[in-house]
Amino acid sequence: MRYSGLTALTVAFGLVVAPLASAYDLPSVNLGFTSFLDGAPPAGPGWYAQQYVQFYRNGRFKDADGDDMRLPVRLPSGPALKKAQVDVNIGITQLTFQSNQELVFGAKWGMNLMLPYADINLDPDDNLALASNSANLGDLLIGPFLQWDPIMGPNGPRFVQRIEFQMLLPTGDYDEDAALNPGSNFFSFNPYWAATAFLMPKWTLSWRLHYLWNAENEDPYRPLGADDTQAGQAVHVNFASEYEVLPNRLRVGVNGYYLKQFTDSKLNGHDVADSREQVLGIGPGLVYHFSQHDHLFLNAYWETCAENRPEGSRLNLRYVHHFH
């Protein structure tokens, strides 16, 4: 019986590590943190401070077919497999400067700095295969951007847009013995195009379309026994539409995001089959304007269609303050 138990645990460990060798390598990116009126800062040029708090709950680990993964645990009756899931509490502090100086193509330049931190809770936390890093600091984000003034119509703005050249620097906490980390341990380039279209004076449609490229991780998850890994390329988009129900105060609507990895991840320079990640999240949201300079966003998301990543729910709070 002892030999059979060890064999079962070995097999179970292999079932868990194999998907991690080929997936779950994309860095933390903007999934649902931004939503309504995303095409421009709410009060024009100047300094902005923003604080995000996001609660990710019941994130069930999914494999390449979208089925639940299980972790090996040792029970009094012997080894067993239990459905694996993760809860994460995320905070992001953001500082943005929007200039009033035109640079190129009529756009005004700006700079964006973001520092994330996270608390990761793995269930079952007494599993025999995976560990999570208890440190908190994530990767520093730096993003120079170009912001265009709104295109105006007879009843107000019609369209406004921005391009940002985001870079994720590998400054966050990382432990090669942990499968889940707040830091990625590799550089990523994550530029985006954000825009808001005013379909009617009170009804808008917004999106933020990202491209994601990742450099090699030269100290990958140790149980893989690899010299290096490289996450595949991906696109991800936030989308939202809202309607003004209280003039200059309250807007309500729907918000969502979609992520799709379109190239295989690499292990020691070789493509790994069934390694591409995917997820769709959608739900309701609102934004409350305390004044022209203070704004509160509330967004909820329920995920589906996940492959090679967790599938759960998110509640996002975002506060924006413009210094004037």
Among 107, 108, 111, smallest CA distance to 95 is for 111
What residues does each domain of the chain span?
2-24+41-323
Task: Convert the pLDDT of each residue in 49-78 to its tens digit.
Answer: 999 999 999 999 999 999 998 888 877 776
Token pair 């100290």: residue: 219
Cα distance between residue 237 and residue 54, in whole Å:
18
Residue ranges of alpha helices (H) inside the chain are: 2-22
pTM: 0.92
The two counts, helices (H) then strands (E), for the chain are 1, 21
14: pLDDT strictly greater than 70:
no
The model's confidence at residue 18, banded by pLDDT at 50, 70 and 90, is: low
What was the pLDDT predicted at 20? 55
301: pLDDT strictly greater than 70:
yes
Please, what is the average pLDDT of the chain? 91
Instruction: Please tell me the CATH code under which domain 2-24+41-323 is placed.
Output: 2.40.160.40
Higher-pLDDT residue of 133, 279: 279
